[in-house]
Amino acid sequence: MKAAMMSVLAAVSSVSAMELNQWSGKSLVKLNLNTAEEQVRFAQLADKFDLDVWNRNIDTATGASTVEVVSDIHLDTFQQEVVTPDLETYFADFFATEPVCNNDPLYCIGNATKSGTDSFYENYQRLDTIFAKMEAIDTSSELVDSFSIGTSFEGRDIRGFKITGASGFGGDKKIAVYNCGIHAREWIPPAFCVYAIETLAAEYGNVPEITSLLDEFEVHTIPIANPDGYEYSHTTNNNWRKSRKPNAGSSAMGTDLNRNFEFQWGTGGSSDQPSSDSYKGAAPFDNLESKALADYWDSLSPRAVVQMDIHATGNMWMYPMGYKPRSQCLTDPRGCGVDNEDDFDAHETCGQASRSAIADVNGFDFAVGPITWIIYQASGSTCDHAYGVSGIRWAYAIEVRGPGFQPNPSQIVLSNTELYAGIVAQMRCIVDY
Ligand SMILES: [Zn+2]
């Protein structure tokens, strides 16, 4: 009982500390971008005003798309509708009615007594709870091992765990690496990085397709790639995206870790202003978290064949390149893909395999294509570096279901289930390719 009361108090205090007034006067609007001219004009505005894009749907046949964007500037030259009129009220309601379980093992870990499901996946969890859950899965399965890829700026462990079939890790097994939580406020993906290992462990030996795949693959996940930002997004600012490293000569904190990778760093679609949400850092890899990920991928060479960076939100299943400007793919996605045509085909083929497996689960449809074609130019990203430097052929960056970065937690289970089908289809596609 005492533990329960402490949990409630902790939840309340974290809500009151949250900087909800940052949302004052802001709404979420959906813009229709029907022509190439509108898309280029929006891309320029997004870059200039550092617009906060939450969602994008693209009709890959016609190129027409819609974007959901946080609006506090005039966007009325586009055809638009209001999605959420008052984001301050929206988040105040959200945090009042959806308590975060705050490190309390009674309420967060493996508590299958309520409605026969695991309450871990019924809410967004804090870092310690996620680590405890990972340890519990590791302890309960002989197939699972834990590891650490490094330490964050504020000294937190960047933990991962991995699974393979009964013959063990190593040999000539292929490796698929999935990382979640590089953008702090995107709370829905980390649950998947835990769920994937837990479900693979439960299905090995019981589901023939999973047994077969895990006899050929090691699957590694890093659930919280940006632990400092993730905790800050829970305690203080639920819209925090970046790392928590101070910037010399500026009061603005943090770097967009997904613009801090070395390959084609700073060549477009990132900012040199520390106050920007897409700040690329003062130099490539001047943040411990991005460097730790890249070093980890390099350590797995040449066995690593998949690296997928999982974001929210927007039903997009993207592959390299992100650094190429939109002008190279106004009408043909191939213009923004990798130069190697065989690899482009490999990205597209296995991306479509994931898309179709996901659509079979919940009917949720992902758009598949190069980053710039699907969303916007973004250099110095995980995906480009994994392919361009670490030599990982199937590099993807995906945006999962929303709406928003912190949708109702009821979406977590749906997202987990469909993404799991997506990665199983991905590994099958690669084995058969
Ligand atoms: Zn993101």
pLDDT tens digits for 352-400? 999 999 999 888 889 999 999 888 889 999 999 999 999 999 999 999 9
Strands, E assignment, 272-338 = 304-312, 316-319
Cite the active site residues. 399
**Residues 236, 17 contacting (CB under 8 angstroms):** yes
Model pLDDT, residue 14: 43
Angle at 344 between CA 341 and CA 349, to 5 degrees: 125
Q: What structural domains and CATH numbers belong to the chain?
A: 2-97 (3.30.70), 125-432 (3.40.630.10)
Q: How far is the CA of 186 from the centre of ligand 1 (A)?
A: 6
* pLDDT digits 0-9 by tens, 93-141: 766 654 444 443 333 333 333 333 568 998 899 999 999 999 999 999 9
pLDDT of 411 over the 80 cut: yes
Q: How far is the CA of 367 from the centre of ligand 1 (A)?
A: 16
Q: How far is the CA of 182 from the centre of ligand 1 (A)?
A: 7
**218 pLDDT band (50/70/90 cuts)?**
very high
* pLDDT digits 0-9 by tens, 251-273: 999 999 999 999 999 999 899 99
Q: How far is the CA of 376 from the centre of ligand 1 (A)?
A: 13
Q: How far apart are CA 131 and CA 409, in angstroms?
A: 19
Strands, E assignment, 130-273 = 144-151, 157-164, 174-180, 217-222
In single-letter form, the type of residue at position 222 comes to: I
Kindly report whether the global pTM for this prediction surpasses the value 0.75: yes
